[in-house]
Chain A
């Protein structure tokens, strides 16, 4: 209905008005002003402020001689290398499972996305108590099925970091499975029909048709997952709290710990800044990928 103009105004022409100089309340930049103000005061300023706070090179020297820092760096890389990749590979396989048309698999999906719907603070606190070596549910189950001395999860570095990473995978698996499931569903059936005619079935269809078509989404997902993982504070903070003995920190939790538990703010900010090269690479790759995909869709 709006397509039909009711009344034409033919005497006054808008272009004349537009040519007038000075402030106009309907200029495009007025519409983006709220965003720009927020970005200036709460992103650009703190970013610059952060660089200024952490300007002392001695802080970095101190960090590089600090075994806790190197431990946190290694753990961060474990979260990125193991956590992200295991999540995405499992999500890719499970997206195939959930694409199967059976009533009970359809009914399973709402149960499967529950970990994603639960706030991470609640979920990780629950996992924390589950991993208690004396009274935790995990060890109760393990003793029940015959393990006489189950691991002391949060008192052993390797078990504690494994627990944190598994909890993190638990929380994020449904999200990435849904993303890859949606990408899988977006493959037109005609592609599969053509593959059928060419004799590509089973594993071959998976390897030569499905995976190549999911490649773009998979790569973008990996990059996004990497940057969100790098930024994750809750998994380590609530599952292990850095225990045992500050060995399971990641850079995100160590920075906050140095700044607010020890009260050395400059050192805390420096911890975050040491991840800057990785962050910049990830952001540049991501922005170009996201732009490209949006361009393809538009």
Chain B
């Protein structure tokens, strides 16, 4: 009793000193690259190579340049932002549609092959996409879809839906009472009416989780967008960001301003839906 009491006090004293220190280290660690992005984006051209921790004469000029597309590196900023939004929106819609339909079939209609399909979906969920990217590029060329945003949307939907099926079917199995289906069947409702009138309205909570996952998946995708989209007016924002590196004299301040603007929507979504994002990641696969 005495011994344990002493260890507890000692560790508490130690903790009182060490914990705030750890806290400071974590804040610096987490913020440094983001702070750096902000500093560079606020630096005028002539201060870029000064190597200072904060700009001497901070300016919003770089943001003005990006937003008014006043440099050849950012001349398609708005249309590329729009492309990113469109690709994310269509991808999220497609992933939700495919995910809810498949989850409904597997869990509520209970076909014999339901387990097999779940396994297949899980296996495709964890396929390393970047090894499949080159054959996928050739495939899109065969389908005559190369260069179109549709190619990116279709690929994102295909690789995003296994996770959706997994999360949605777990929820459908555990949280929607099966008595509802029986009652609906007695009422004479077929599977499609059950899907639209009973299943979808009750699936809203996991659909928010999966929808956010899908939006961010599409918004953040670089490799496939880089391979599929070569025309500047069809590109999404991350491809343009990557292309900055090809310039002879990389305009780092413009690039960081663009990078920060591009990072803004996902950051806002994360903080508005923080609870949904983290509950989704726990439900998805690494559920305990």
What is the interface of chain A, defined by CB distance below 8 A to chain B? 2-9, 14, 25-26, 28-29, 31-32, 34-35, 38-39, 41-43, 45-47, 49-50, 53, 94, 97, 100, 102, 104-105, 108, 110-123, 125-127, 129-130, 134-137, 139-141, 144, 167, 170, 174-175, 178-179, 182-183, 186, 199, 201-202, 216-217, 220-221, 224, 227-228, 230-234, 237-238, 241, 251-252, 255-256, 259-260, 265, 268-269, 272-273, 275, 279, 282-283, 286-287, 290-291, 293-294, 297-298
Contacts and interface: CB of A to CB of B under 8 A. Distances in A.
Interface in B8-45: 8, 11, 15, 19-20, 22-23, 26-27, 29-34, 36-37, 39-40
Q: Which of B23, B104, B126 lies at the interface centre, i.e. has the most chain A CB atoms within 10 A of its CB?
A: B126
26 contacts: A2-B180, A2-B184, A14-B185, A31-B102, A31-B105, A31-B195, A43-B124, A43-B158, A50-B135, A100-B19, A105-B23, A111-B27, A112-B26, A115-B34, A118-B266, A121-B222, A122-B259, A126-B256, A129-B36, A137-B36, A179-B286, A186-B288, A227-B126, A233-B133, A252-B130, A269-B134
A127 B33 contact: yes
Nearest to A238: B242
Contact of B40 (A94, A129, A182): A129
Given A234-B223, A290-B122, A201 B8 contact: yes
B200 interface: no
A123 B33 contact: yes
B285 A220 contact: yes
Q: Which of B117, B158, B195 lies at the interface centre, i.e. has the most chain A CB atoms within 10 A of its CB?
A: B158
Contact of B11 (A46, A202, A221): A202
Contacts of A275: 128, 131
A42 B98 contact: no
Interface stretch (B61-69, B71-79, B203-211, B267-275): B267-275
B interface: dominant SS: helix
A179 to B, nearest CB: 5
Contacts of A134: 49, 51
A294 B287 contact: yes
Interface of B: 4, 7-8, 11, 15, 19-20, 22-23, 26-27, 29-34, 36-37, 39-40, 48-53, 97-98, 101-102, 104-106, 109-111, 117-124, 126-139, 143, 154-155, 157-159, 161, 165-166, 170, 173-174, 179-180, 183-188, 190-192, 195, 198, 219-220, 222-223, 227, 238, 241-242, 244-245, 252, 255-256, 259-260, 262-263, 266-267, 270-271, 274, 278, 281-282, 285-288
